[in-house]
Structure 1
Amino acid sequence: MAVPIYIGYEFKVNPLQPATEILIAELGYAGFESFVENNEGLTAYIQKEDWNAFILDGINILKSSEFAITYSFNEIEQTNWNAEWENNFKPIVVDDLVTVRAPFHDKPDTKYDLIIEPKMSFGTGHHETTHMMIQHILKNDFKGKSVLDMGCGTGVLAILAEKVGANSLDAIDIDNWCYINSLENVERNKCKYISVYEGDVSLLKDQKYDVTIANINRNILLNDIPTYAKHLTKNGLLFLSGFYEKDIPLIEAKCEMNMLKLVEKIKRGDWVSLKFIN
């Protein structure tokens, strides 16, 4: 398989919110695959084969008078990208129980050792939302449970869920690179019960899950929560992240409409992660 070449866009956004969140959602619909937020805005990546000089013409927020958004872009050589993440990807430890590390890091002493090679995919535990979802998994009983990991990214959450006892897991991501990367990481961690699929909630037919994990942006969650609820077992658990504390009323209201009750909140920085029960 040929290694894809990426175009990277550096966006400077003022004020940051809600503009950054809106920008990510619009860029996602335009074909951008990966996003890294920073103090000035964000970096967005799209495969060169999917890029054209008019790719931003349909990004409406760039035309808004409410926000000042500037950008620049350049082609990223894959070899340079790999060297960069190897230099900057440090192992992380969550609650002294889980280590998320790259294959070239030393084996840790923690109970759970997750070996993740993220490449262009999202989800190493460094971002607040992934970190909080890991905390949720550690705090809850997954033994013998069926699990859905929507927007699986690197597959890190599904991999941890299996390691803590889940024995039937589906990991789904709409991004081809995430799908491939998840397959690699599932194999790398010698997981036996995880099936990885490329797509979205439309893949779900008659399946029922004891636990659903969804670490995706707010707009996608609001659209897909009814489907998550439909595919939960009685007393099933839904863990959500990928949004800010100010978004909780919207998320909670949508969940309540679908008979899901909020039972726990974790906060890290401006980000939150919520636990609902069916």
Structure 2
Amino acid sequence: MFAEFQILLPADALDAWTDALLAAGALSVSVEDDDRDTPDESALYGEPGEEPPDSAWRNNRVSVLVDRDADIGDLLAIAARDLDAAPPATIACKTVDDCDWVRQTQAQFAPIAVGRIWIVPSWHTPPDPQAINIRIDPGAAFGTGAHPTTRLCLQWMERNPPTGRSVLDYGCGSGILSICAAALGAAEVVGVDIDPAAIATARHNAQENRVTVRYTAPEAFAEEPERRFDLVIANILANPIMVLAPMLAHRVRPGGTILLSGILERQAQAIIDTFLRADPRMTLAVVAQDEGWVAIAGTKPSDDPLRNPNP
């Protein structure tokens, strides 16, 4: 059994107070926008290469978890003394039951159907044994199949199965898309991710699904600069996709296809323009939308005189 109390903090006091509370004995501290779901709600996120608009919300609701027997007043007083500040008022307090946190986490992930493809967390039984079942343990990597961008890519692959083709999944995360490509009959699949934890998770998931996918880091992948693929998939974020556009376009084999997601509707034209600058002969278009996200697919002509010396 634990206790949880909440306090309100302005942006300029947030970091100092959360550090002081943890130093005073708090077990954990979490922060949410106190203006959430109101006209004053503010965005607080960014992408690699792009600074977030703010480092903290204007009004922060801070939830502090402590031992059940902890004296909340003493803990606040210790933190306040460390900061030479007055302790903030407690606005809510409740008890929190101990539980099986692994089961609680797993309960958030249910099997997801995308056409005839099922993404099934490893602790669930496949609902349809006759379907294409992709068993996934997300581990520490991004990718449970629940995000709209993953669904968009899965839907596209179901409509355009890469049977007998070579596939590159750049930014593979937990391996959902690369494993699905292999399950749909791809002749060769390579997955690349900057995160070693993602590579380890994807390898485990491929083994569990009894498919062959070669997972590697970007540095090792770059050692084969002239390797091309029939299908290149990148489901990451808009800014990294634009940075990687010359390399990704180069990796598409003449006559091949590229599939891009992780892109908001408002970012789609910028992505298309970036790829056309990388290879003006490519054709790209938005092919699907879901909850404000889009998938972009493109093709490269069969003749390909363009070469990128630094893929």
Query: In the aligned structure 2, how far is the partner of 1:73 from the partner of 1:196?
Result: 39
Residue 274 of structure 2: aligned partner: 254
CA contact (8 A) 1:154 1:178 kept: yes
Distance 1:263 1:60 in 2: 28
Q: Is the 8 A contact 1:237 1:277 kept in 2?
A: yes
Whole-angstrom CA distance in 2 between matches of 1:128 and 1:268: 6
2:245 is paired with a residue whose SS is: helix
Alignment of structure 1 residues 1-40 onto 2, 5 Å: 10=31, 12=33, 14-16=41-43, 19-20=44-45, 22=46, 24-25=47-48
Residue pair 1:62, 1:69 contacting (<8 A) in 2 also: no
- The answer for the alignment partner of 1:197 in structure 2 is 216
Is the aligned partner of 1:183 residue 2:210? Answer: no
Question: How many Å apart are 1:82 and its aligned residue?
Answer: 3.5
TM-score, normalising length from structure 1? 0.74
The one of 99, 102, 116 aligned to 2:136: 116
- Residue 80 of structure 1 and its aligned partner are, at CA, apart by 6.5
Alpha-carbon distance, 1:202 to partner: 3.8
1:76-87 equivalences in 2 (<5 Å): 82-87=102-107
SS at match of 2:54: helix
Deviation at 1:69, TM superposition (A): 7.9
1:91 Cα deviation after fit: 0.5
User: Which runs of no fewer than 5 residues in structure 2 stay unpaired?
Assistant: 1-27, 66-98, 301-311
> What is the identity, as a one-letter code, of the residue corresponding to 2:125?
D
Matched, 1:227 2:250: no
In the alignment, is residue 269 of structure 1 matched against residue 305 of structure 2?
no
How far did 1:70 drift? Answer: 5.0
TM-score normalized with structure 2 length:
0.66
CA deviation after TM superposition for structure 1 residue 199, in Å: 3.1
CA contact (8 A) 2:143 2:173 kept: yes
Shift of 1:256: 1.5
2:121 to 74, 87, 102: 102
Distance in 2, Cα, partners of 1:73 & 1:145: 50
Say if 1:264 and 1:272 are closer, same or farther in 2 by CA, change over 3 A.
Answer: closer
Matched-pair identity in %: 24
Partner of 1:48 in structure 2?
Answer: none
In structure 2, distance between residues paired with 1:69 and 1:221? 33
- Flag the 1:123–1:60 CA change in 2: closer, same or farther, 3 A: closer
The question of whether the paired residues in 1 share the 8 Å contact of 2:32 and 2:61 is answered with yes
CA contact (8 A) 1:82 1:119 kept: no
Unmatched tracts of structure 1, length 5 or more: 1-6, 30-58
Structure 1 residue 106, shift from structure 2 partner: 1.6
Inter-partner Cα distance in structure 2 for 1:204 and 1:245: 33
Counterpart of 1:225 in 2: which secondary structure?
helix
Q: Please give the secondary structure, in 2, of the residue aligned with 1:99.
A: strand
Aligned pairs (5 A) from 1:87-166 = 87-95=107-115, 97-109=116-128, 110-166=130-186
Q: Are the structure 2 counterparts of residues 98 and 8 from structure 1 closer, same or farther at C-alpha, using a change threshold of 3 Å?
A: farther
| 2:192 maps to 1:172 | yes
Given candidates 51, 62, 65, the residue that maps to 2:54 is 62
Letter in 1 for 2:271: I
Deviation per CA, 1:163-210: give whole Å up to 9, x if none: 111011110111111111001001000012x10112367455221100
Provide the rounded CA distance (Å) in 2 between the counterparts of 1:262 and 1:8: 45
Between structure 1 and structure 2, the one with the greater Rg is: 2
Letter of the 1:272 partner, please give it.
V
What is the rounded CA distance, in whole Å, between the counterparts of 1:255 and 1:185 in structure 2?
Answer: 32
**Quick one: distance in 2 between partners of 1:187 and 1:256?**
37
Match of 1:211 in 2: 231
Query: Kindly tell me: are residues 211 and 72 of structure 1, through their superposed partners in 2, closer, same or farther at Cα, counting changes over 3 Å?
Result: farther
For 1:130 and 1:216, the matched residues in 2 are separated by 10
Report the CA distance shift for 1:83/1:176 in structure 2 as closer, same or farther (over 3 A): farther
Q: Which moved more, 1:183-192 or 1:119-128?
A: 119-128
